[in-house]
Structure 1
Amino acid sequence: MESTSPTPNLPAKMRAWTLTSFGLTLSPSHPLPGVAPSSSPSATSSTTTQPPPTPTTPTTTGTNLLLRITHASLNPVDLHILRLFPPWLPFRRNPTPGFDFCGRVVAAGPAVNTAEFQLGDVVAGALSASDVFHGKGSLAEFLVVESSLVCKVPDVWGARGKEIKGEETVGLFGIAGQTAILMVQTAGVPPDTEEGWKGKRCLVNGASGGVGSILVQILKGKGAQVWGTTGSAEGEELVKKCGGTVINYKTYSPVTEFLQRVFGAEGDEKKLDFIFDCAGDESIFTNSPGYLKGQGKFISIVGGPSQGIVPYVLHKLRPTWLGGTPREFELLLLLPSKKTVREVGKLIKEGVIERGVVDGDKVWEMEELVEAYERLGSGRAKGKVVVRVGK
């Protein structure tokens, strides 16, 4: 695919959020990615009365795509990065946050596969950790991204035949959806066997969150029996909508005793095959011999304040004779990839994933990012917190 010629639809500047020493700031005058800054003083002065320079097509090289972003979704890892990595580090001056994106292809490098991507395609995905650590984030109106991190969004939901909206897809193809895919793959159930997931007994802890709501759909769609924990009436409704059987941990407290009564009372055959922890409750693992089969797996994505070091040592490395729990423990870290993002698209087309859950059916506007992050940090979000970046 050859790079596109200059187009009058590209603005001279774009809006993007940046983190400065004073906090998050929405700037309307970011240069487009890949465009060399103009040497004209009038082009950079905020007080100029001169017309803006004629926009040119950003340089797209190799297999890169230039996207006009319509939506971004927020992830807990965003908050960790904002807190742990200051904006004055040499490799991330005034960084733009955000991993997840959905948008349209407006230009492409010459090595992009034309069988996969065309100008105008709606695509989605997640940036690499290296991109975001170095200050390149998705909360900007234009974004240059490696095409291997991107998947073309299907036109309709495979199961329902309805049009797929950008706010529904951005989380599915982003960190949450790809993490759910990785958790399923880590379970180690052979995908090509006749039985596969059929009849497997699974618990999803934190089933009404961004990852959990997707994971419940995938497991249920593959034929597993799925129970999901949540702590609110709103969460109960969402878990049911995604296909899971609800366990309200506030109604059945402590939930570990309830799990033992339900799954451990009739012997090993009734115990769970897998526990997927999307919320971070170590007591569910330490008490798991009472309800998780001996050969079962506990798969977690929550590292806690130590960023995973403490739970990994305590639950993965510590032997049983030193107090370790006699069950297999896995702690995952997602690296967005072509394999996981394309698997999301495949499962949507097959009807395994039937919906993208947007928290409160609300899409936050670009100017409301700080409030959107506050909603994410509250821990009360059901599904994905989504921001509308552009049209």
Structure 2
Amino acid sequence: MRAAVTTGTGGPEVLSVGDVADPRPGAGEVLVDVVAAAVNRADTLQRQGFYPPPPGASEVIGLECSGRIAELGEGVEGWSVGDEVCALLAGGGYAARVAVPVGQVMPVPGGVSLVEAAALPEVAATVWSNVFMTAHLAKGERFLVHGGAGGIGTMAIQLAVARGAEVFTTAGSAEKLELCRSLGATAISYRDEDFVEVLTEVGGADVVLDNMGAKYLGRNVAALATGGRLVVIGFQGGTKGELDIQALLRKRASVTATSLRARPLEEKAAICCGVVENVWPHVAAGRIRPVVETTMPLEDVARAHQLMEDGAHAGKILLTL
């Protein structure tokens, strides 16, 4: 089958399209004919050799896709060949076909096309599991998400707003700030404003979702309200920082760090069930929409990775097959 392949590790130039062996669905899996896959920052780390797939996962890059079920593995019930689906993957998305554990297969929510649905699984699962399952963001609480114009940020803003939270976010350019405001957030320019000051003036953030890691660790703690919860999901700003334990104690606050890709299958299945139950109705009702920067063919995979790394895009980058 056609798939993205690499010639070693390195920059986007190591990516091209070639032929690899077709996957076969094992027990409890479905085989999906891929229509579209989304590019995530973690994909660029895998390409550079910093984020290998977990044991047993496909070596092909790609953490989410949409498509149609082509085959059912042994023991799979509740799905039929031809069903339109989207899926959370441990790998294999940049390919014509991918085998997926059935618990990570989700119906395409109403109101979006099959191609657009590829923009949803990873960000919806990340936001639902971290902001709501882990941090328990409640209606009326204040929520801060960094990088609000990105894939995770645009989903986090929309879902938190839909569930009644007061949302704040950071972004850089005027265009990205305006996008965040259009989604319902108070947008803070990280170039010209201090998010700690903004949040402190209103009483602090009850939940912070952070992808920067070490660079923002101290400031995120400073921005928390009493009883606040900081959830770290990335380390774009480094991996080692200084944590003021006294500040945490004073605020009775907590810091949690999570990842999604290497979780056990049963945990990922529970997250996907939560997404279908709690996120898809907002998508179908139009309260949440996938924000897509651009769609390009799989043959342009290197250009897609360069666009991701340049950081000028907003929302998701999709590859179509």
Name the TM-score, length of structure 1 as normaliser. Answer: 0.70
Q: What does residue range 89-128 of structure 1 map to in structure 2 within 5 Å? A: 95-113=59-77, 115=78, 117-128=79-90
Q: What SS is found at the alignment partner of 1:213?
A: helix
In 2, the alpha carbon distance for the partners of 1:86 and 1:341 equals 22
Q: What does residue range 1-391 of structure 1 map to in structure 2 within 5 Å? A: 14-21=1-8, 23-27=14-18, 29-34=19-24, 60-84=25-49, 95-113=59-77, 115=78, 117-128=79-90, 132=91, 137-154=92-109, 156-157=110-111, 164-174=112-122, 176-184=123-131, 185-189=133-137, 197-252=138-193, 255-256=194-195, 259-260=196-197, 262-265=198-201, 270-278=203-211, 280=212, 282=214, 284-288=216-220, 290-304=222-236, 308=239, 310-311=240-241, 314-315=242-243, 319-320=245-246, 327-335=253-261, 337-346=268-277, 347-350=279-282, 351=285, 354-359=288-293, 362-389=294-321
The structural deviation recorded for 1:172 is 1.2
Structure 1 runs (4+) deviating above 6 angstroms are: none
**Bigger relative contact order, structure 1 or 2, given CA contacts below 8 A and separation 6+?**
2
What is the identity, as a one-letter code, of the residue corresponding to 1:334?
Answer: L
Q: What SS is found at the alignment partner of 1:84?
A: coil
In 2, the alpha carbon distance for the partners of 1:18 and 1:388 equals 16
Q: What SS is found at the alignment partner of 1:363?
A: strand
Q: What SS is found at the alignment partner of 2:20?
A: strand
- Residues 227, 253 of structure 2: 8 Å contact kept: yes
Question: Structure 1 vs Structure 2: percent identity of aligned residues?
Answer: 24
What is the identity, as a one-letter code, of the residue corresponding to 1:67?
Answer: V
Tell me: CA distance 1:112–1:272, structure 2 relative to 1, closer, same or farther (3 Å): same
- Residues 16, 141 of structure 1: 8 Å contact kept: yes
Name the TM-score, length of structure 2 as normaliser. Answer: 0.84
Number of the residue aligned with 1:11: none
The structural deviation recorded for 1:291 is 3.7
Tell me: CA distance 1:295–1:70, structure 2 relative to 1, closer, same or farther (3 Å): same
What is the identity, as a one-letter code, of the residue corresponding to 2:180?
Answer: V
- Residues 69, 104 of structure 1: 8 Å contact kept: yes
- Residues 228, 252 of structure 2: 8 Å contact kept: no
In 2, the alpha carbon distance for the partners of 1:229 and 1:104 equals 37
The structural deviation recorded for 1:80 is 1.4
Aligned pairs, how many? 306
Q: Which has the larger radius of gyration?
A: 1
Consecutive unaligned residues of structure 1, counting only runs of 5 or more, are: 1-13, 35-59, 158-163, 190-196
- Structural RMSD (CA): 3.0
- Residues 221, 352 of structure 1: 8 Å contact kept: no
The structural deviation recorded for 1:25 is 2.8
Consecutive unaligned residues of structure 2, counting only runs of 5 or more, are: none
